[in-house]
Chains A and B, each alone.
Chain A
Amino acid sequence: MTAEPTDEGIGSEVQRREDRRVLLGESKSTDDRQLSDPMHVQFIRSEKAHTRFSIDATDAREIDGVIAVHTADGIARSETPTPGPFPLFSAPMPDLDYPDEELWQRCIATEKARYHGEILGVVVAESRPIARDALESVRVDYDPLEPVVTSREALAVDAPAVHDAVPDNVAFEGGQGDRAETEAMFDRAAHTVELEKESQRVSPSPLEPRSAVGEYDAASGQLDFTATTQIPHAYRRLLAGILDYPEHRIDVTVPDMGGGFGARQHPYPADALVGWCAIEHEATVKWRATRTENQLVENDGRGYEGTWEIAMDETGDILAVRADIRYDLGAWLAWGGASLAEAGNLLMTGLYDVPTAYSHVTGVVTNTARVDAYRGVSSVPMILMLERLVSRVAKKADMDPATVRKRNFVEPDDFPYQAPGGALYDSGEYERNFELGLETVGYHSLREKQSRLRAEGRYIGIGFACATEVAGLGPASHIDAPSWGYGSLQVHPTGEVTVYSGGSNHGQGHETSLAQVAADELGVPFDDVRVVENSTKEVTEGVGTFASRIAALGGGAVAKSCRKVIAKGTEVAADEFDVPVDEVTYRDGTFTHTGSESESFPFSEMAAKVHLGQDIPEDIEPGLAAETYYDPENCTWPFGTHIAVVEVDPETGEFDFLDYVATEDCGVQINPTIVEGQLVGAIAQGLGQVLYEDVEYSEDGTLLSDSFRTERVGSRGGYTLPKAEHVPDITVRSTETPSPHTPHGAKGMGEMGTIAAPGAILNAIEDAIEPFDPEPMTPPISPEKIWRAVTGREL
């Protein structure tokens, strides 16, 4: 076989390999696993937000087919080690007074429950329906305590304490940036704007509810999980610690998974208890959440409230940005905890060259489910508020919001650029990207049209948001956690290649994009490369899929492994040609003696030769394979411009999208079709956040948004996800500023849409109704809220 140069390498719009099995109806999710006589578990969950409780499971235990009902007491008495609490990803903010293990989420409640949905007990039965029936026969007596449901309530004087360890409900607090310098800038500013607002809690809501299978083999001591997780290897590491079980006797497989969006970048108590039950009963144990259960306990995102301010001088230069934030953590400090707040603060000045900034975050515990990572994490509220402030301060100074942005962008020559929040941006051409957006949307004629239509009593608005993202989190020296990308490569004697990646592929198309990276680096046909992911059995190591890391770090690791293989092949070729290694070139799948085209060695022949191990230099081992733990110099910092155009009917508050333009720059694009798909999908989630989605609790801490609804209704309850009719067509354009430090120049990009869309859409709506001098609005923005903003009246 002779390798042909590939035209399906980096930059090619290859169709995804993942699609066929899905379209045939043959994809397999965790709950699709057909097992022989598994036990089924269901969880007894607290119906109260803050309560003492006792459980009487006598009746449930007598139901035919019920195997056991476990409560915290019974679990503690068992010989199987009691599952411990959930450790945190990392503890950043060195100045932080951090309340360590007392606030780590535990697996099962003892005596007191602290949020609606917390696990009180576990039912194990022969079938799922029997387990569900048994739940209804378990008697839980509640002795309710007063709950605190919002961060505002939690910080009130004399508020009930969620945990005795933190009587003031403050889990952590800390500042980033230069407080004194920021104050000085505000003192001398010509224009300042303050927004006291919230970025409401929203639910990631992957379409597949969480599920897990635990399989314990008593003879070998092997514990296998099949699970809905974004982090197979880290899931193994974490559960080994939580279950006090040897890590090398645990394996984790993630079949096809129906979305993650950050909500599955850590295991949950249910996962640990499935594992515990498998060990305890020496059995195979299966669990699938109901949708309501999923909405009750899968982590929410955002949950930010506070005050954001901007200071600008008389010429339009931004002087400083300041924020004082209350971050609602829910009842326990979960995996992300304070590190997520820190990540958002890093980029609180966005794409602008701002001399100084200061943010102060108070992490508050409440009697609600955990708040943790959701696509864009804390960058979403920080960029939303920043972009609202920039548009508002421009208007206050009677300047065009586009002009103020252009005036303040970090310049191309300023990279690497140290942002005052702590980020070190790697590369960017922000103004070029912004100008492409303006040109694509036809900005100048739109402003003329806006003014013409206003004279006719019609109101269109143009909204901007410019954003960056912490993509491909690293290096380890900065974030106090494993953050490398893992990618290894096995070259078969035929020259075909298997790539092993340490992430999880659940919609991002890694089976396709990582094959493109390897095909491109090696110059071999795309069809000769297979990608294996989602498994600790097949892949040696990994950190997982989160923080837009696979294109940059997974792809970077694969590229580096390819280069190691080429380096080995080059040594063998040099020996074969009897020339120094620097006289060997590798291009388009062939090793060649430079300047002598007749002496060449195709990759596939090299693979066979090295595999056999005959006639190769003595100091070279047989076999063509490589492994890379790629710890990057820095995160990558993609960027983009989002411009929404809307028309609002001030009589009713109804609005329509007239246009939405997104110009993306994520460096070198591995597969532009996948990039565009990720961007548009994330924009729809950002649109959902700003227009429809809202996690609602009642005053007593009962989750109201515990199931989907698809229409906005006046009454409370239900969680509204955007439908096809709610999302406009998006015009996507790209610029390309390669990352200077990833091997292939790619940056991550999966979260740009959720970060930028809320600000662009909200700014457009507020721009449309500006003649009515409305108060700043609070998302989710409904026609009713617009009508109230326009009229200043209540319904």
Chain B
Amino acid sequence: MSSKKVTVDLTVNGEPRSVSVEPRELLSQTLRERLGCTSINIGCESTLCGACTVHTDGKAVKSCTRLTVQEDGADIRTARTLADDGVLNDLQTAFSEEHALQCGYCTPGILMAVDEYLDDNPDPSREEIRTEALGGNLCRCTGYENIVDAIEVASDALED
């Protein structure tokens, strides 16, 4: 069943890492199970819930549907890179102030998806936040409203 392993070089949260993986291994598996990146959560394993979202070379991707061998040379960042030496960034601060998380399982993935979205569209409407910024993520606890509020607050802060 097992096949030949491939060596893949990654930069993970700023650290160079080299892993030897089977071609079938998912990026989410490599990051969680080999490299200890447990901020990545596995909710659906089918690209629907977005809990495993990370940045590869600055783009938000769902790591449960990327093969690690596709990412050779990639710069990968997880939610652990958002804060600056323990100081929450504007988006994280807004999530806390607006009570935008309950169980928090979806939160790191949402932060990574929205962080990239706001780069491209720094002043989204509520409608755009609902359909686009959060278009790839599921949350079962909050009913989304406070997440939408938090993203509005963060986008205002980013403008200032």
Contacts and interface: CB of A to CB of B under 8 A. Distances in A.
Chain B contact surface mostly: loop
A19 B106 contact: no
A129 B97 CA distance: 41
Nearest to B45: A291
B6 interface: no
Contacts of B82: 23-25
Nearest to B127: A725
Q: Which of B103, B108, B139, B141 has the most CB of A within 10 A?
A: B103
A63 B2 CA distance: 11
Interface string B90-101: 001001110101
A21 to B, nearest CB: 8
B17 interface: no
B140 A205 contact: yes
B12 interface: no
Q: Chain A: interface secondary structure? A: loop
Given A25-B39, A26-B39, A258-B41, A19 B140 contact: no
A725 B130 contact: yes
A24 B93 CA distance: 11
Nearest to A291: B44
Interface stretch (A110-118, A391-399, A589-597, A674-682): A674-682
A664 B99 CA distance: 18
Given A22-B104, A22-B108, A709-B48, A680 B143 contact: yes
A153 B87 CA distance: 59
Contacts of B76: none
Contacts of B70: none
B83 A24 contact: yes
A710 B48 contact: yes
B41 A683 contact: no
Given A684-B144, A724-B147, A29 B138 contact: no
Among A25, A708, A710, A723: residue with most chain B CB under 10 A: A25
Interface stretch (A214-222, A504-512, A546-554): A504-512
Contact of A681 (B48, B80, B105, B143): B143
Contacts of A128: 33
A674 B102 CA distance: 9
A688 to B, nearest CB: 9
Contacts of A708: 43-44, 46, 48-49, 138
Contacts of B46: 291, 707-708
A133 B126 CA distance: 45
A727 B140 CA distance: 12
B43 to A, nearest CB: 4
Contacts of B134: 723-725
Nearest to A723: B138
Given A23-B111, A25-B80, A677-B142, A207 B101 contact: no
B96 A725 contact: no
Contacts, number: 172
Query: Which size class do A's interface residues fall under?
Result: 35 or more
Contact of A725 (B78, B135, B140): B135
B129 A724 contact: yes
Nearest to B107: A22
Nearest to A27: B104
Interface in B133-155: 134-135, 137-148
A721 interface: yes
A5 B38 CA distance: 40
A753 B78 CA distance: 34
A710 B148 CA distance: 18
A673 B88 CA distance: 21
B107 to A, nearest CB: 5
A677 B95 contact: no
Contact of A34 (B36, B42, B79, B111): B36
Nearest to A256: B104
Interface string A729-740: 110000000000
A727 B145 contact: yes
A507 to B, nearest CB: 3
A725 B148 CA distance: 10
A508 B101 CA distance: 10
Nearest to B148: A724
A680 B144 CA distance: 8
A98 to B, nearest CB: 34
B51 interface: yes
A639 to B, nearest CB: 20
Interface string A200-240: 00000111110000000000000000000000000000000
A207 B129 contact: no
Interface string B15-40: 00000001000000000110010110
A509 B45 contact: no
A680 B107 contact: no
Contacts of A16: 96, 99
A556 interface: no
Contact of B138 (A207, A680, A683): A207
Contacts of B140: 205-207, 259, 261, 681, 685, 721
B104 A28 contact: no
B38 A32 contact: yes
A32 B37 CA distance: 9
Contacts of A257: 103
A207 B105 contact: yes
A507 B102 contact: yes
A290 interface: yes
Nearest to B81: A25
Given A19-B101, A507-B102, A727 B43 contact: no
Contacts of A22: 101, 104, 107-108
Contacts of B148: 724, 729
A576 interface: no
Interface in A302-344: none
A259 B103 contact: yes
Interface string A241-282: 000000000000000111101000000000000000000000
Interface of A: 15-16, 18-20, 22-29, 31-32, 34, 63, 128-129, 133, 136, 205-209, 256-259, 261, 288, 290-291, 506-509, 673-674, 676-678, 680-685, 707-710, 721, 723-725, 727, 729-730, 753
Which 3 pairs, one residue from A and one from B, show the smallest C-beta to C-beta distance?
Answer: A25-B39, A258-B105, A684-B143
Given A23-B92, A207-B49, 15 more contacts: A16-B96, A24-B79, A24-B82, A24-B86, A29-B41, A207-B43, A207-B103, A207-B138, A207-B139, A680-B143, A680-B146, A684-B144, A721-B138, A727-B144, A727-B145
11 contacts: A32-B32, A34-B36, A207-B49, A209-B42, A256-B105, A288-B42, A290-B45, A677-B142, A678-B102, A708-B43, A730-B145
